[in-house]
Amino acid sequence: ATPVFAQGSPADPLPSWNEGAAKKSIVDFVKRVTTSGSPDFVAPADRIATFDNDGTLWSEQPIYFQFAFVLDRVKATAPQHPEWLQKPQFKAAIDGDMKGVMAAGQKGLLEMMAATHSGMSTDEFNAIVKDWVATARHPRFKRPYTELVYQPMLELLDYLRANGFKTFIVSGGGVEFMRAFAERAYGIPPEQVIGSSGATQFKAGADGKPILLKTPKVEFIDDGPGKPAGINRFIGRRPIFAFGNSDGDLQMLQWTAAGAGARFAGLVHHTDAEREWSYDRTSHIGKLDKAWDEAKLRNWTVVDMKTDWKTVYPPQK
């Protein structure tokens, strides 16, 4: 954690956060719920904090990073799938034609997701993702995708854990995709990563030992109303602190805010077209519209990336 604190005074656990309403609301909340004798004190076991991933902990533009993985996987495995050339969005992906890919719409993209996320064991998939995060580079920043995590949010995760919180990811992204890097990138272990999933099939592998084979069947979508349902199912405690960045997080924030006692609901508003991207109400990726309106109505914390964050990404290695 030394590099984190090196940027600010030793007493400041959030050195990448500019002084302002957002930082203050976080620090005040943590103080209220962790001070013995405070009327808002929360026992450590109940200090559950949930975080969306895409656009909240790492970037998500120009396409969701998991989708960049899908496109790379389509290209990498195309030789084994000559039948893909008959499918327009697969052919477009192989040809590097992004417009053609997007023209396939949601259904076409999900078909490519299923094709690249099934037919292998969970262990094999984990190795594939680990290799990809180690080798792939972002088209704009030319850095590994796992370096495009938000430094201020890394500090926040550390700060919360230092104050007895248990931090979880609750994301629409694939759970097995995220688990391949979440512990290293965010300090969040696999059992605290909740995401969307496909069904797995328990069967004998080639060596007779059991495997879990990833199948194309979608099992759970951890987005929108799926987030509180997933939180209930996987955690069984309502969070007291939750952070997202888009309308897909609205229900998670509502669920968190509706609990008894002190509650924190936060949104990252992408306002920085220079250091990152600027998008909200009309963006196809990470649309922030209804959640922004509700945040104003309920006095939730809205982080303005441009003014609240001293730095966006960790220093390049």
Residues that bind its own copies (CB under 8 A): 45, 48, 122, 166, 175-176, 179, 183, 189-193, 197, 199-202, 209-210, 212, 219, 225, 228-229, 232-237, 251, 254-255, 258
Work out what residue 54 binds among its own copies, Ca ion, none; the CB cut-off runs from 5 to 8 Å by kind: Ca ion
User: From CA 155, how far away is CA 190, in angstroms rounded?
Assistant: 20
Work out what residue 254 binds among its own copies, Ca ion, none; the CB cut-off runs from 5 to 8 Å by kind: its own copies
Closest distance of CB 192 from Ca ion, Å: 17
Whether omega for the bond prior to residue 62 falls within 30 degrees of 0, making it cis, is yes
Work out what residue 55 binds among its own copies, Ca ion, none; the CB cut-off runs from 5 to 8 Å by kind: Ca ion
Work out what residue 20 binds among Ca ion, its own copies, none; the CB cut-off runs from 5 to 8 Å by kind: none
User: From CA 297, how far away is CA 299, in angstroms rounded?
Assistant: 6
Closest distance of CB 18 from Ca ion, Å: 23
Asked if 92 contacts 101 with a C-beta cutoff of 8 angstroms, the reply is: yes
Closest distance of CB 230 from its own copies, Å: 10
Q: CB-based contacts of 29: which residues, under 8 Å, 6+ apart?
A: 241, 262, 264
- In the complex with its own copies, the residue whose CB is nearer, 35 or 232, is 232
- In the complex with its own copies, the residue whose CB is nearer, 103 or 258, is 258
Beta strands, E only, the chain:
48-51, 166-174, 193-204, 210-220, 241-244, 264-271, 278-279, 301-304
- In the complex with its own copies, the residue whose CB is nearer, 129 or 303, is 129
- In the complex with its own copies, the residue whose CB is nearer, 252 or 303, is 252
Q: Does 195 bind Ca ion (CB under 5 A)?
A: no
Asked if 82 contacts 74 with a C-beta cutoff of 8 angstroms, the reply is: no
Which x/- pattern over 206-245 shows residues binding Ca ion (rule: CB under 5 A)?
A: ---------------------------------------x
3-state secondary structure of 1: coil
Closest distance of CB 39 from its own copies, Å: 21
- In the complex with its own copies, the residue whose CB is nearer, 82 or 236, is 236
Contacts (CB under 5 A) with Ca ion, residues 16-55 = 52, 54-55
Rounded to the nearest angstrom, the gap between the alpha carbon of residue 138 and the centroid of all alpha carbons in its chain is: 17
Question: For tokens 């931090």, what's the residue?
Answer: 167
Work out what residue 17 binds among Ca ion, its own copies, none; the CB cut-off runs from 5 to 8 Å by kind: none
Which x/- pattern over 53-92 shows residues binding Ca ion (rule: CB under 5 A)?
A: -xx-------------------------------------
Which residue type, as a one-letter code, is found at position 168? F
User: From CA 31, how far away is CA 231, in angstroms rounded?
Assistant: 24
Question: For tokens 């009309």, what's the residue?
Answer: 282
| Binding test (CB under 5 A) with Ca ion, winner from 61, 197, 246, 251 | 246
Asked if 277 contacts 314 with a C-beta cutoff of 8 angstroms, the reply is: no
User: From CA 216, how far away is CA 113, in angstroms rounded?
Assistant: 9
User: From CA 12, how far away is CA 7, in angstroms rounded?
Assistant: 9
Asked if 189 contacts 183 with a C-beta cutoff of 8 angstroms, the reply is: yes
- In the complex with its own copies, the residue whose CB is nearer, 100 or 259, is 259
Which residues of the shown chain bind Ca ion in the complex (CB under 5 A)?
52, 54-55, 245-246
